[in-house]
Amino acid sequence: MPKWLRRQLEQGPKISMVNRIGRDGRLIRQEEVQNETPGLIPILAQLSAVDRTVQAAYYCHPTILHIGKTPNEGGFCGYRSIQILVSYIQGARAQGHDEFTGRTPGILKLQDMIELAWDRGINDIGRAQTGGIKDTRKYIGTPEAQALFLSSQIDCAVDVFSDSPDGRLMAHEQLFNAVEKYFQKAAIPDDRSNVFKTLLPPIYLQQPGHSLTIVGFERRKDGSCNLIIFDPMFHTSPSMHRLKGRRNIRTPRPEVLHAYRRGARQLKMYAGFEILMLTAHPPLFPAWDV
């Protein structure tokens, strides 16, 4: 890892204070973190609700942050996806939140935590395969994410999907089925809406060469499916920023949802996927206010 990048990671993302007008008309001073965007899950849920092509949609806990890359850092997508799961643990005060006090842990901290997990013998084959990751740009994936959470006494489980030998069920179809079942188990029926707002954690998703985070699922009226994902390689668009805080979205915005949807067209090119799910029961205190 070059010295300039290590310095950038040590300093962390830029933090600024901005003035916003609250719903009561008063001026509110808020903190903004360069690569973190809160409040997207309630907006995405509203956009699914007004899309007439969606039969049912499911969303995870609303406190999750979208966390993306910082300038010139390259591809730390595995770490950024871990950070998004940590944002759930912090925001929901879920199992393990005492391990993650203060701000979202940076990449260097996560590297230390993975190395410590290896020291404890958890998935330590990763050390043999990588030669160690501390102060490097080396790729990490599901085994390293699992090692970090298990070392922190956070319950999690990994599942793997691959194209069936007979070609009858492709990996992405198995993934869709598993994610839909994951959300359906926690969905509370609501006759007034086709959107089910859960308190579930997001899901770490590993596709060949890239890590993403699943934050929701859509089944459309034509039978097709979409994963709703946070991709750490992309920043939140200006059009999405303009919708933040809205509670009464009534106009479909497919061009906004497009950046978060992953359907069969995008996923069928991959022959395999891995997911990591946090398996502790989520807290039951109210979290949705829209």
Catalytic position from the list 60, 77, 156, 225? 77
For residues 20 and 27, the answer to whether their CB atoms sit within 8 Å is: yes
Does the annotation mark 66 as catalytic?
A: no
Catalytic position from the list 97, 210, 235, 241? 210
Q: Strand, helix or coil at 65?
A: coil
For residues 17 and 162, the answer to whether their CB atoms sit within 8 Å is: no
Does the annotation mark 61 as catalytic?
A: no
Does the annotation mark 156 as catalytic?
A: no
Write the DSSP symbol of residue 159: E
Q: Strand, helix or coil at 155?
A: coil
Of 105, 82, 100, 13, the closest CA to residue 230 belongs to 82
Catalytic position from the list 51, 60, 172, 231? 231
Name residues whose C-beta falls within 8 Å of residue 51's C-beta, 6 or more positions apart in sequence: 252, 254, 257
Please name the helix (run of DSSP H) or strand (run of DSSP E) that holds residue 229, with its range, or none: strand 225-230
Q: What is the phi/psi pair of residue 214, to 5°?
A: -85, 120
Annotated catalytic residues are: 77, 210, 231
